[in-house]
Structure formats: C-alpha cells, structure tokens
Amino acid sequence: MAYFEKRGDSWRAQVRRKGYPTISATFDTKAEAQRWATEIEGDMSRARFVDIREAEQTSVADALRRYRREVTDYKKGAKQESTRIDRWLEHPLAAKSLATLRSSDLAAWRDDELQAGKSGSTVRLNLAIISHLYTIAIKEWGIQGITNPCASLRMPKPGKARDRRPTAQELTAIKEAALSYHRELPIIIDLAVETAMRRSELLTLRRDQIRGKVAHLEDTKNGDRRLVPLSVLARDLLASLPTRIDGKVFSIAPNSVSSYFPKACADAGVSGLTLHDLRHEATSRLFERGLNMMEVAAITGHRTLTQLKRYTHLSPHDLADKLG
C-alpha cells in the first residue's frame, strides 16, 4: 500500500508490501509521487521489482575507494591505476551515485578530455576503470538496478603507435650524457636495446636470475614467466657490473632512470625519444636479425600479433635493400 505525506513544498511517497523492503521517495508534486508509487507497486505485483536503494546511496567516489582497496591494490600496475582513481575522485562526476551516472555524463567527460589534448589511449584507460568498477559492483558486490554506463559509450581511438627509432649516433650521445647522472645508466640503455626488457624487469633483476645465457624473469608485467636469451654483448655488459651484497644487478632506482633519461636526451640534443622507445627499438632489431614472430614474442613477452606489431618498426631502407 502507498502512503503520501506533504512535507513543506514537497510530497513524500512510501510504498509498503509484504515480502519487500519499505521504499520511499520525495517529489515536487503529489501527482509525481502517485505515479512513482503506482509504478513501484506494479513492479512488485509482477515480481519485477529491483531494490536500487544501495545503488542510489553509493556514490561513485565511495565505490572507487572500495574498488581501490579490493581490486587495484592487488594489481601489478596498482600505482598507476591508483593515480587515475585519484583524478576521478577530484572530478564532479564522482559525487554522482552509481544509479545516476549516465553514458551521456561520460561522453561529455570524454569529449572534454580529448579537447584538452589528452590522448585517446589515456582517455580509454581512465574509462576502463569506471567500466570495471561497474562490473565488480554488479557481479561481486551484488548492487542491483545498475548498468555499466561504459557499455554503450563510444570509445576514442587509441593513439598511433610510436615509431621513433634512435640512430646509432643518438644512442652514443645519450649514453655519454647519461654517464654524468649515474654510472649504471649507459649500461641500462645498452641492455634495454639489446634485450627488449622493460624498465621494471631490468631494474629489479637479480644475479641469481642470470643463469648462463638466459635471464629468468619469474614475475613480469603480464604475470607470465619469461626466459630472456642474453647475447654476448648483454652478458658482457652484465659482467662489467660489480657484484652487490643484496644480490641486485643495479643500484639505481627505476624512478631515477625515468627521471635521468629525458635529461640525458636533452643534454645530448636528442628530442622525441622516450625510455620505452628503447623496447620498440630492441623489438625491431630482433626482426632485423632474422628472428621469426614466435621467437621475437618469446623474448619480448608480447601475447598477440597486434601487440607485437605496435612495437615493430622495420627500417624501410633495409627493406628496400632486400628488394634489390
């Protein structure tokens, strides 16, 4: 049965039915309250009623904080995703409830971000958090009456794959400049180009992981175990480093490498090159050495041909020489 009560300038409607929770809502007019109560009673009588109170009472901000505790903190990329969550928490959309956040809200946010100069890939990563948040809220938290607002959202195209390859002269100049920042940095640059290992894989490498001609990576970015073959040059570079008591190969921190590399590039007069471009360069060189796709993927750890293709930029001049 529905009950109506006037409170100041508004009307409060309350619906009570055996077997269902008591539902109430406030409206500007009695007619609106009556229409709402009729719809709720109809859904209850047809066993179509869905209790959306939890969805209405849970803000996107609260859900994101719970998501960070229960999901993000257990991911390998927790630090990066946590930073994205912080940005969402600062946005006005975070004040909306899970029940009221709409695709149109996110579409407007997407367009604003792209207009502000954010890349399509960055926008996609941020939207992926919201999408997975709703998936977890529905499947694991059991919050009823919500749908994923990203499901019908047009995602921006990912950014173009980087194709910047350093020349031999540029690498030499960068390594000379890098030496003034840290004695290990030139060796790290050479190993990145020689092995296609990620920054985190190189900087967390331990001596006991290097066994003969192979580096055994037990815990990689995608969670797979990977064996990286080491060339003669790579083995010589590793052997040139002093043995540390803590068992680590390098003493420099990963964040320091990320900080020093662009400074070394600037000192060397090299522009448009990032540290991660060295992994692209290494992947391209593996193909140019004559290795096939399966062999390269086994070294780099790429799971799909699409991923591998984004990291491969063969020299058109070398290809022209092969054509004769």
Catalytic positions are: 198, 221, 276, 279, 302, 311
**CA 229, CA 294: separation in Å to the nearest integer?**
14
Helix 78-90 to helix 120-139 angle (10° resolution) is 90
Q: What is the DSSP letter of 253?
A: -
Residues 75 and 221: their CA atoms lie apart, in Å, by: 10
Considering all CA atoms of the chain, what is the largest pairwise distance in Å, rounded to the nearest integer?
A: 89
Residue 94: count of CB within 10 angstroms of its CB: 18
What is the C-alpha separation between 291 and 318, in angstroms, rounded? 15
Q: How many CB atoms lie within 10 A of CB 322?
A: 7
Alpha carbon distance 294, 313 (integer Å): 17
CA-CA distances (angstroms) from residue 210 to 115, 205, 304, 315, 317? Answer: 47, 8, 27, 32, 36
User: In the numeric block, which tokens belong to residue 41?
Assistant: 């009673």
Q: Residues near 97 by Cβ (< 8 Å), separated by ≥ 6?
A: 55, 56, 57, 58, 59, 60
3-state secondary structure of 275: coil
State the Cα–Cα distance between residues 213 and 216, nearest whole angstrom: 10
3-state secondary structure 102-166: CHHHHHHHHHHHHHCCCCHHHHHHHHHHHHHHHHHHHHCCCCCCCCCCCCCCCCCCCCCCCCCCC
Report the alpha-carbon distance of residue 230 to residue 212 in Å, rounded: 9
